[in-house]
């Protein structure tokens, strides 16, 4: 049986990413820059023999996966479906506001003066999740238990399915905070300051019911795609 690997991609850069607005369950499309970045990523991944493709059901993740599969040498043959469990966090009434506003509110809920002080005190994902839940006046944000169960089962089910079918590599498109949170659930040393770039790839191996992190936030596949495209034009 082949080794089971997950290539987890953060979606391409969107309008709200560019405007620095909070984007969890709300959604905006990829920008031209975002599309170009994922096109390069797709070229960089095009010869990897993926046995399955999964994205969150958010439009930006679906758009990202569509571009990746269009660039892939066997994209039309790779089974693809969406899974709402690997969505971004839900920020409730904080959705759509400026990032600076949310990251101004959350530290105050936790009795810190500002974001930097909050992070320097080694605040946990659980602390931040509970603060968002407390600050959400719409009562839409998830509890830590709900969020951790959703995220872990979503990725575990993909890994289980691939393993059951003989192993191999799966490409997954998810979201920045969700991917960082997954890494923390796998190993607590992975902290909240992790900044994953749009289009970056985090690679996990699944073996004996456990995830092992092989690569975090790599942009090498984007750079590889740029080089391939450049050489094809010369």
pLDDT number for residue 120: 84
Which residue in this structure is represented by tokens 């970045």? 37
| % of residues, the chain, pLDDT over 70 | 97
Q: What is the number of residues in the chain?
A: 234
- Tokens matching residue 142: 């998830």
The model's pLDDT over 141-183, given as tens digits with 9 standing for 90+, comes to: 999 999 999 999 999 999 999 999 999 999 999 999 999 999 9
**Confidence (pLDDT) at 230:** 85
Tell me what the mean pLDDT of segment 186-201 comes to: 82
Instruction: Inform me whether the pLDDT recorded for 188 exceeds 80.
Output: no
pLDDT of the residue at 26: 97
Residue-level pLDDT at 190: 65
What span, in angstroms and rounded, lies between the C-alpha atoms of 77 and 79?
Answer: 6
**Which CATH number describes the domain made up of 4-87+143-233?**
3.40.50.1240
Q: What is the pLDDT of residue 193?
A: 66
The model's confidence at residue 192, banded by pLDDT at 50, 70 and 90, is low
pLDDT in tens, 199-222: 999 999 999 999 999 999 999 999
Half-sphere exposure of 168 (CA within 13 A, CB side): 14
Question: pLDDT tens digits, residue range 114-149?
Answer: 998 998 888 899 999 999 999 999 999 999 999 999
Q: Shortest CA distance to 202 belongs to which of 120, 102, 186?
A: 186
Is residue 199 a contact partner of residue 30, using CB atoms and an 8 Å limit? no
> What separation in angstroms does the CA of 192 have from each of 41, 57, 118, 127?
25, 24, 10, 10
- The DSSP bridge pattern shows strands 80-82 and 50-55 to be parallel
Please indicate whether residue 47 or residue 229 has the higher confidence score (pLDDT). Answer: 47
pTM for the model stands at 0.96
Across the chain, mean pLDDT equals 95
Q: Is the pLDDT of residue 234 over 70?
A: no
Which has the closest alpha carbon to 140: 89, 83, 87?
89
Q: How far is C-alpha 46 from the chain's CA centre?
A: 20
Instruction: Give yes or no for residue 87 having a pLDDT over 90.
Output: yes
């Amino acid at each position: 049986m082949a080794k089971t690997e997950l290539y987890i991609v953060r979606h391409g850069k969107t309008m709200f990413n560019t405007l620095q607005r909070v984007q969890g369950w709300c959604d905006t499309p990829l920008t031209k820059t975002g599309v170009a970045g994922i096109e390069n990523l797709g070229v960089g991944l095009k010869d990897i023999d993926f046995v399955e493709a999964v994205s969150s059901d958010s439009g930006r993740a679906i758009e990202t996966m569509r571009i990746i599969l269009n660039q892939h040498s066997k994209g039309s043959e790779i089974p693809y479906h969406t899974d709402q469990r690997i969505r971004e966090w839900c920020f409730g009434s904080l959705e759509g506001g400026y990032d600076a506003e949310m990251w101004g509110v959350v530290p105050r809920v936790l009795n810190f003066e500002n974001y930097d002080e909050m992070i320097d005190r080694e605040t946990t994902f659980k602390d931040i999740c509970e603060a968002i839940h407390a600050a959400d006046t719409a009562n839409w944000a998830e509890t830590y238990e709900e969020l951790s169960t959703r995220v872990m089962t979503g990725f575990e089910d993909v890994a289980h399915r691939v393993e059951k079918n003989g192993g191999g590599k799966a490409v997954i498109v998810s979201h920045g905070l969700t991917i960082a949170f997954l890494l923390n659930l796998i190993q607590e040393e992975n902290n909240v300051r992790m900044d994953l770039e749009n289009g970056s790839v985090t690679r996990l191996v699944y073996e004996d019911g456990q995830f092992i992190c092989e690569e975090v936030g790599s942009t090498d596949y984007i750079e590889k795609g740029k080089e391939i495209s450049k050489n094809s034009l010369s």
